[in-house]
Amino acid sequence: MPALTAEQLEHFRTDGYVVVEDVVSPNEVLEPLEVEYAMVLDKLAEELFEGGKISSTYAGLPFGERLTRVYQDSGKVHSGYFDFSLPQNGISHDTPMWHGPAVFDTLTAPSLLDAVESIIGPEIYSNPVQHVRMKPPEHLTPKDESGRVQLGATPWHQDLGVVTEAADDTDMLTVWIPVWDANEEAGCLQLVPWSHDEGLAFHCAGPNAATPGLHIPDDQFRIEDAVAIPMKRGSALFMHRLTCHGSLPNKSDRIRWSLDLRYNPIGQPTGRDVFPGFVARSKAHPETELRDPEAWAQSWIDARELLAQRDNPVFKRWDTDDPSCA
């Protein structure tokens, strides 16, 4: 995929987002990623089975069905085993995470970086605010003690709203990639066009808020103007840091699998400075580019070890007692 066209760039600037087809190769990038995550699921299933947490490893089932059955049988969503980040609290020396070579190859795919470069320039830093999301069908997903689905629809938010104030002037770019096709039934993203021009909205935080997790109250933005963004495997949604967005619930019979990535120009704050990012591309200083997936993985292991020995860092800027959250 070459750099974005002038028309696509104008759409991004005007509407706060643009969808581009065929950014990531299914054969060269996504299939190795699927193979790698099948191995991670193997390890998780074996660990839970040996620990008496599930009655079967469900070997032989297709990936999505197997993941769903493991979650159902254990009564818990095990997102951390697959995620290439760390949680925002409760980090221990053995907090699960995954930083495999296929994930690294996805983050640094040349076609993806070409597209990113056309938006933020050639000095590209891989921002550590990044996730893989494997959402089972909601009717098959375990619930928490309050009866809520443990991994459901993502509430309305802006990506600038979930990082610290240090990144307020950072040209942070969100890239959302469906590993499998994501239509409305499967819980694709929804967003509000032009909302990036309306500033940072107030975000409320759980557990005191009605919606778990950071979210924008419905009366604080133009929710009636929201549009769903169904996408094909290998395409990419490029989104401004202030674009209001969330996801629909997964009402299908299969998992919704996506990647949620961030990039910013080198030298700008990431908004989570205790997590490690890296130089993904630099035309000015190519020798600074990280090309070793093992070094990337080790940087996260080192960060986990350090964070396990200290108090939880503060990631949130919002006051949960604000009247906006009443």
Strands annotated E in the chain: 17-20, 123-135, 173-178, 189-191, 227-229, 236-240, 245-247, 256-265, 278-282
* Residue 209 binned pLDDT confidence (cut-offs 50, 70, 90): very low
pLDDT of 140 reads 95
Output 3 or 39, whichever has higher pLDDT: 39
Q: Note the pLDDT of residue 115.
A: 98
Torsion of the alpha carbons at 268, 274, 276 and 280, rounded to the nearest 10: -10
pLDDT at 211: 43
**What's the pLDDT at 206?**
64
The confidence score (pLDDT) of residue 1 equals 43
pLDDT at 319: 77
* Positive or negative: CA dihedral 22, 24, 29, 31: negative
Does 320 score more than 90 pLDDT? no
> Residue 324: is its pLDDT beyond 80?
no
pLDDT of 236 higher than 90: yes
Q: What is the pLDDT of residue 80?
A: 96
Residue 210 has pLDDT above 80, yes or no: no
Report whether pLDDT(132) > 90.
yes
Element (H, E) at 46: helix 31-50
List the single range of 87-96, 209-218, 220-229, 288-297 with lowest mean pLDDT. 209-218
pTM: 0.95
The secondary structure of 193-247 as a DSSP string is: TTGGGG-PPP-B-TTTSSSSSSB--GGGTTGGG-EEE-B-TT-EEEEETT--EEE
What domains can be seen in the chain, in order of their start residue?
6-311 (2.60.120.620)
Per-residue pLDDT at 15? 98
For the segment 45-97, what is each residue's pLDDT rounded down to a tens digit? Answer: 999 999 999 999 999 999 999 999 999 999 999 999 999 999 988 899 999 99
pLDDT at 208 over 80: no
Q: Which residue has the tokens 């925002």?
A: 88
At 2 the pLDDT is: 58
What integer best gives the mean pLDDT of the chain?
94
